[in-house]
Chains A and B, each alone.
Chain A
Amino acid sequence: MITMTKDMMEIVREQDVVPFRNRVKELATKIGMSLVNQTKLITAASELVRNMLKYANGGRVTLEIISKNGQTGIRLTFTDEGPGIPDIQQAMQDGFSTGKSLGLGLPGTRRLVNEFDIKSKVGQGTAVTVTHWKNGR
């Protein structure tokens, strides 16, 4: 796997969400992703960034254009130093929320993108990595 471009953004306020989403859209357009895939990726990014703001008061996102086996895609890594998720299995279930929301953020995001990975340590923070390929399903 090769990383072609790498960029980082700090997310600390709600006002950072829109510029971040635009940045993701820019990258997706750059690699020629179809509109449906673009929208999926942007929505997934939006979910994760909102989670980060809501539960961890913000964090960092790394945006990369990557290439693997002739496929081009976008990988986003969301890292925060928040309270962490005690039970990831529970958090990945539809309808589970500790914050009065619909509880679709994490499970929905996993369905939206091609690759999804979550690591969390209570008291240390959470890291979510999502990858979406240009010609993903």
Chain B
Amino acid sequence: MDTNSTARLLLKKKQDILVNWMQNQLLDDTLRDDLLSNEELNKQSEEFLDGLLKATSDGNFENIYTPEFEQTLDVLGDISITRARQGFSPRETNLYVLSLKQALTDVLEQEHQNDPRLLYQEVVLINKLLDSLSLATFETYLKGREEVILRQTDEINEISTPVIRVWDGILALPIIGTLDSSRTQIVMENLLQEIVNTGSSIAILDISGVPAVDSLVAQHLIKTVSATRLMGAECIISGIRAEIAQTIVHLGIDLSNIRTKATLASALQIAFEMLNLQVRKTGQAGNTKLLR
């Protein structure tokens, strides 16, 4: 079978194919003219068909990972990404690519009515080509999604460990989520750096937001406390909930060398006492402490 002549025929009939394809799309129930205007759809479709027919002009219908197809795949990638942003489902985008099958095979049917054997071979070829193109579309879609997830993971890592200066000389570090090795590293680095920057002498690690303290998390906490002490600062761990306390005891983790408190407020009070500070209500004779 001569794939070159098929390619030439398709190229010659390009306008017919496009008109046919557009008609099919506009008549289809699943048309989303709420997301994409018909002119844009026409432009998009023409660009895609143009690239596809150019790529197959040498008779290559088999392998889409060749230089000829680079442009087509680029166009397809753009379509996939913009459609995803416009709110199309991946199914709709894939159906869009697959809908070109009908338009292409219609033309071939008209031309090769009298040669069913040739027609069959051509239809199989077109089918294979568009199937792999639709898979490529889906891959692009997934890749786009994955990039978003990776970016978000980085962002979460960045924002999840803020070191807050609660008072002159007192830093607080609320830890939220699981404390794994890589996060401990970030937490420790941020904290130690901030101790240097601010010249603080007390750091409060608040673990209210840590769902479970197992021996690994405890080990990371102990390491962070030791490192803080080496820098000449004292470390208080706060936010130890009742159930966490019981679990730590059963596990057999020894935190007796570390100052621990149930709430951030009581840790802050200890910190004030260590710095010989007192918090009082103003305008009252009594020495009512605000923090208790």
Contacts and interface: CB of A to CB of B under 8 A. Distances in A.
Contact of A47 (B180, B214, B246): B214
Interface string B134-151: 000000000000000000
A102 interface: yes
Interface stretch (A37-45, A58-66, A74-82): A37-45
Interface string B244-270: 101100111100000000000000000
B178 A102 contact: no
A129 interface: no
Interface in B218-236: 218-219
B243 A104 contact: no
A21 interface: yes
Q: Is the interface of A mostly helix, strand, loop or mixed?
A: helix
B252 A39 contact: no
A35 interface: yes
B215 A102 contact: yes
B252 A42 contact: no
A39 B215 contact: no
A45 B52 CA distance: 54
B212 interface: yes
A132 B199 CA distance: 48
Given A40-B250, A102-B253, A108-B250, A35 B215 contact: no
A21 B251 contact: no
B251 A46 contact: no
Contact of A104 (B180, B242, B251): B251
Interface in A19-56: 21, 35-36, 38-40, 42-43, 46-47, 50
Contacts of B178: 17-18
A42 B212 contact: yes
Given A14-B180, A104-B251, A46 B212 contact: yes
A105 B215 contact: yes
A6 interface: no
Contacts of B218: 102
A112 B219 contact: no
Nearest to A113: B250
B216 interface: yes
A94 B180 contact: no
B162 interface: no
Nearest to A21: B212
25 contacts: A17-B178, A17-B180, A21-B212, A36-B242, A36-B246, A36-B247, A40-B243, A40-B246, A40-B250, A43-B214, A43-B251, A46-B212, A46-B214, A46-B216, A47-B215, A47-B251, A50-B214, A50-B216, A101-B216, A102-B219, A102-B253, A104-B253, A108-B215, A108-B252, A112-B250
Interface of B: 178, 180, 211-216, 218-219, 242-244, 246-247, 250-253
